[in-house]
Every structure is written in structure tokens, then in C-alpha cells.
Structure 1
Amino acid sequence: MIDDLAKLGYIGLCNFNGSFTRAFSNEDDFSLAYFGREHSIHPKKHTALGITPVRTTPIGRELARIAGGNANEEYRKSIVSDFRKAGWNVGEQ
């Protein structure tokens, strides 16, 4: 996956700064969005999460719009399921 991100970054479609691990306490929470659908994420206990922040560039967003990218519901559900299996509470909106 990192190789794919590097290729997209090389041609100017996204920016990412590698991976890092962040510790979360059971008092922390954050939100993630997938094709505009918000998800609130809250750990049930103190835990760590490997993160690779990726942001599309303006040209990447424009190409995605032109190409007609669509959400993949099976992929979204698998990510939500993975978080839940790892002991996180996930609120879907």
C-alpha cells in the first residue's frame, strides 16, 4: 500500500508523510470520513494505532471528481469491522 501511495504522490495526486503510531486513551476520540460519510471512533481502552495520513492534492480531487470515484460499501464495512474487532467503538452516521 505504501508503494501505491508513493506512486500517487510522485505524480502529484496525493501527499503523505509516511506512517507513525499514536497512543489513545479511553478518553480520546476522533472522526474519520469516507466519501463524506462520517464515523466517530472511540477506544474502549488504552491502545495504539498505526496511522498513515494521506491527503489528496487539488489535482487529485479534481481527477477523482472527473473519474467519478464511488464509495465501496464492502470496503467501508470491512474497515469499521476491523476497528470493532480491535476494541474500538465506531459510530456511523
Structure 2
Amino acid sequence: MAEIAFERGLRRLRVAGPCTARDSTALREAVDVHGRSAARLTIDLTGVPSISPEVVSVLADSVGAVEAEGCRVTIVRKCSSDVDHALRELHR
């Protein structure tokens, strides 16, 4: 199970560990809570070695929802990682 922590001063949601479908609800709730309460949010996935398609879908939906309400979201991940490839597939 992934660890999800919010760093208030940096407005950063840090996720670490493999993200499986079981993490979908917790990630959705974290993005919703922290994205709705600020003008910007960084989601740091650099500590995530793998991410399930369910989590990618939830992340896309949650980010879209908070961005529609005015929050600017930045997603950080390791270049050319499995997570990077999974997120890039969203734009194809």
C-alpha cells in the first residue's frame, strides 16, 4: 500500500511506494481535500515505482475535478519510469 503524506508548507502531496487499486480511494480523497483548499498543488510521484491503471484513472479524474475549480496541479515523477509511461498514455 502506498504512503500518502501532505506537506502543507510546500502544498505538496507526496506519494511513496507501489500504487495499486487499493490506493485509489485514499489518493482521490487526498487530491480532493488538498486541491480544493488551495490555488496550487504539487503531486509528487517520484517515490512511486509502479502505478495501476485504476490509480492512473482516479488521478486523472481527481486532478481534472480540482483544476476545474481553479487549482493548478503539477504532477512530478521520474522521467522514463513506469509511472511516467503510464501517465503519458493518458495523452495519447
Give TM-score scaled by structure 2 length: 0.31
Looking at CA atoms only, which structure, 1 or 2, has the larger radius of gyration? 1
Structure with the bigger percentage of strand: 1
TM-score, length of structure 1 as denominator length: 0.31
> Which structure features the higher share of helix residues?
2
